[in-house]
Each structure stands twice: as C-alpha cells, then as structure tokens.
Structure 1
C-alpha cells in the first residue's frame, strides 16, 4: 500500500512534467500528434478540444476520435512491435517507441480527484487508473468516472456516471462496470474517488460509496485524465472541457462507507 500522500493541486505556471505526460497513448500515434490542449488556470488543469483540433490516430482508429489527455506514466516496445499500453485493436503496432517513464504509479490506497466538465452531445470525460503493462497481464483498469454528454439531463441536474473495473487482458479480473444515473450537476466540482485494496475496490462520489467490488488489480497503476470528442461529420460547434483542480492519493485508513 502507498505509504505517503500524493497531492497535485496544479498550482504551477505549467504542468509538472516529472509527474504528468501531456499526451494520450502516444505509442499508437506520436507525441507530436497526441499532444494535449491544456492550460493551468486558477489551480485547475483544464483539458479542452478546440474546434480545429485534429483526429487522434486518424488512419487506424475505427471511429473518428479527438482527445486531449494527460497520463502519469508511459511505456511501449520499439516501433513496429505490438508491446504498448491500452491497444485499441488486435495486433496494434507501435508507431513511436515510448521508453518506460513513471511519474506517479500508486499501488493501493484512496485515490481522489475533484473535477468538473462541460460536455456536448458528442463528447465524454473520464479519469481512470490503468496497469503499467510492463508485463502484458498487468493491464486492468479502475475507472473513477466516465461521463458521456448525451446522458446529461437538459437542466443539468442528473447524469449517468460510469465506474468500475475493466479486465482487458488480465486473467485475474472479470468485467464489473456500469453507468448509473446520479443526481449531480457535472458542470460543478464533485469528488470522484476509489478506495483500492488487494481484495476489492470501493467507488465513491462526493464521499458516498456507490459501488463495491470483491476483486482488484494487484499491481501498480498510472492515472489517465482525458476529454474526448466523437465527430459526427458535421463541423464541431462546442469545445468540450474537463477541469481537474485536485488529485490526491492516500493510504486507505478507514472502513468502507455505506452504499446509498
């Protein structure tokens, strides 16, 4: 279990690149083509997708996708190999080698983010933990939240908030994920957290446990923070934004909360 508190308040003039890589899975594209659009304002990391931002992996991703993301680690094999984190297709080939770099890679503990988002009908925002994949089976995911803009009610009072586990190629895990309607306005800051132990994970929204599992990844993981847009062919008219103003990692030191 993590023994020291991790705190990121995004107070600097620019992103701390000893902790964060301002690219989204660059091994399948390149650092030049996967660079995030972001700014640090009022102690917020604000990720956005401007109207003129291009597609990510335009020639290999099956559906058009635009993304701005940061991650706290990266790793791949050499160009031409199939070794890399979170491949999106069978036999995905590395385009640009990413030497192993680990900024923040906790193993167990309470991990919490304070976030808000401004999404369109075609956009999505998410924060998740993913295995380093320094060994292929160490690839499971703990999703703190995933919100699609088309699930937000017209008055903004509710949204479907996804959370849970994805096993991918980890044979020790099974799929345990769903998106449930929550009575929150995601345009306002909310706390999304997990309490991750070797025997399970509790998922919390504003300090209330909304899901618990009896399984968990048992290896270090890195954090992924990203906002996505899924173009429909029409010219975009909305700039999606994900703003995070606090990331915290602590040892789990208290009993799970109560699911309500």
Structure 2
C-alpha cells in the first residue's frame, strides 16, 4: 500500500448514501439476496440485523448452503442490482462458475444503482470468526450482454488475515469479458480491519484506483465500462464446526456512491 492520498470525493451529494440507521433495510437501494437467480429464495436470502451500529451481516448455525452443489458455502449478501434470464437459461448477473449455472429463480431483474463509472466508499468492520470472509465487489450486471461480466474486487478479507496489519486481495477480474484481463494482488494495510475503516474504488476510462483509509492501495490500468452492481457479503467457506460460535458476523457501517457515467 502506498502513502499517496486518494482523490477527494465529488463535491456534490452522493447518489447512493446509507448509514443503515433505519428500522429496515432500504429496498430502493438493496436486494438482500446473494445472486438469487442461481439459487432459491430460502438459500440466497441474507441473514442480518440493523442494530444502530450499521448493518450486521450474519452466518447463522442453521443457515443453508447457497446451492447444494457448492456446499459447504454459506453467504449473507446485499447488492444494488440483479439481472436474470428465463428459468433454465445460463444468463444472469455474475456467472462466476464455469460448471453450468442455470437460472432457478427467474424474474429477479432489478437495477437500483449500477453505474458504468464512479466512486464508492464503504466503511466496514471485517469478521474475525474462523472460516469467514468479508468482501466488496462491483460486478457487471450482464443485462446489456454476456461479455459485460467483469469485476472490480474492492477487497476480500479472510478472517485469518486480520491483525495489527491486515492482508486483503484487491484488483480486477475479467470473468467472461475478453476485453479485460484478471489482475489481482494482495496488499497489507496497516490497520486492524475488525475495527471500522473505509475502502474506496474509483473507476472510469482512466482505469481503476482502490484505496483504504484515504490512501491508495492499488492502481489498475483497466476498468469495466458497463453497469456494475455493488455487492457486500460475508462468506463461510469451510463448513460448520462444533467448536465455532455462531453467528459469524461482519458489519457495514456506511456506504457512499457517486455515479460518474
């Protein structure tokens, strides 16, 4: 991570602004399911609380795997859009697996905040629960076409990587977009990510900049130039453990986003 300062945010008010202080999750901004078209509602639905200190995403002991084929894999996610083709088709947001994802829950197309260029600041507290990962992604909606599938990985933080300094994965993933190439890197940020801190992504024709706590963590010479869905999620990938306390949790304290398309 460099010590170069991030650019200041736009002077105008953000298009997306949420402190998660309301009595319920805002359905004009968020879909509380993880890629619901590839799964079924009881499996894709997020577990979460709004308790005055932001959005607490949970993995509960009784939570089902996202898809039986992917077990063990449990996730609680909120996202700002979704696109799905017809039942049985292979069209939909984030075709992240090569082994034949097909639409199981059609009719889930909603585009709430999906800029093609912009800036997003996300303030989070990462999980330290074993086997958990907190991630923030900007993923191509794919509703204009299947090539529009690239991803900006704002960060992925494994619980085991959190400490006085924290290791995170950041970068760009091409997925099915042959105009991009996957360029991921690990960075060490000098903070305990289990405490509130802010990650930033800025993207557009000049490329992508990813930062943490106001400092640049990585520069990338490419950026998707089509609508992107903001996704914030906690994963459990290692399966249930009798020695692990539930729920496993992470927090989202604040989100600010500017559409610069």
What's the TM-score once normalised by structure 1's chain length? Answer: 0.89
Give yes or no for the alignment of 1:225 onto 2:232: yes
How far apart, CA to CA, are the structure 1 residues paired with 2:112 and 2:259?
Answer: 18
| Structure 1: 5+ residue stretches without partners | 253-260
Hey, what does 1:130 align to over in structure 2? Answer: 139
Hey, what does 1:255 align to over in structure 2? Answer: none
CA RMSD in angstroms, aligned pairs only: 1.8
- Equivalent residue for 1:105, pick from 108, 114, 120: 114
For residue 108 of structure 1, report the CA deviation from its aligned partner. 1.3
Checking the alignment, whether the CA contact within 8 Å between 1:130 and 1:140 is kept in structure 2 is: yes
* SS state at 1:242 partner: strand
Give yes or no for the alignment of 1:84 onto 2:83: no
Hey, what does 1:47 align to over in structure 2? Answer: 57
Query: Quick one: structure 1 residues 232 and 100, their matched pair in 2 at CA, closer, same or farther if it must change by over 3 Å?
Result: closer
How far apart, CA to CA, are the structure 2 residues paired with 1:168 and 1:126?
Answer: 17
Hey, what does 1:94 align to over in structure 2? Answer: 103
How far apart, CA to CA, are the structure 2 residues paired with 1:231 and 1:203?
Answer: 28
Q: Deviations over 1:224-249 (max 9, x none)?
A: 01000023463362332121111111
Q: Which moved more, 1:89-98 or 1:122-131?
A: 89-98
Checking the alignment, whether the CA contact within 8 Å between 1:130 and 1:223 is kept in structure 2 is: yes
Query: Quick one: structure 1 residues 70 and 236, their matched pair in 2 at CA, closer, same or farther if it must change by over 3 Å?
Result: farther
Q: Deviations over 1:175-230 (max 9, x none)?
A: 11112222210111111001112120111110100100111100111100100002
Q: Which moved more, 1:234-243 or 1:70-79?
A: 234-243
Checking the alignment, whether the CA contact within 8 Å between 1:74 and 1:98 is kept in structure 2 is: no
Give yes or no for the alignment of 1:212 onto 2:219: yes
What pairs with 1:22-61 in structure 2 (closer than 5 Å)?
22-58=32-68, 60-61=69-70
| Count of matched residue positions in the alignment of Structure 1 and Structure 2 | 246
Give yes or no for the alignment of 1:201 onto 2:208: yes
Query: Quick one: structure 1 residues 203 and 52, their matched pair in 2 at CA, closer, same or farther if it must change by over 3 Å?
Result: same
Checking the alignment, whether the CA contact within 8 Å between 2:37 and 2:105 is kept in structure 1 is: yes
For residue 150 of structure 1, report the CA deviation from its aligned partner. 2.0
For residue 112 of structure 1, report the CA deviation from its aligned partner. 0.7
Checking the alignment, whether the CA contact within 8 Å between 1:4 and 1:251 is kept in structure 2 is: no
* SS state at 1:32 partner: helix
Q: Deviations over 1:3-29 (max 9, x none)?
A: 862211112100011110100011111
How far apart, CA to CA, are the structure 2 residues paired with 1:114 and 1:140?
Answer: 23
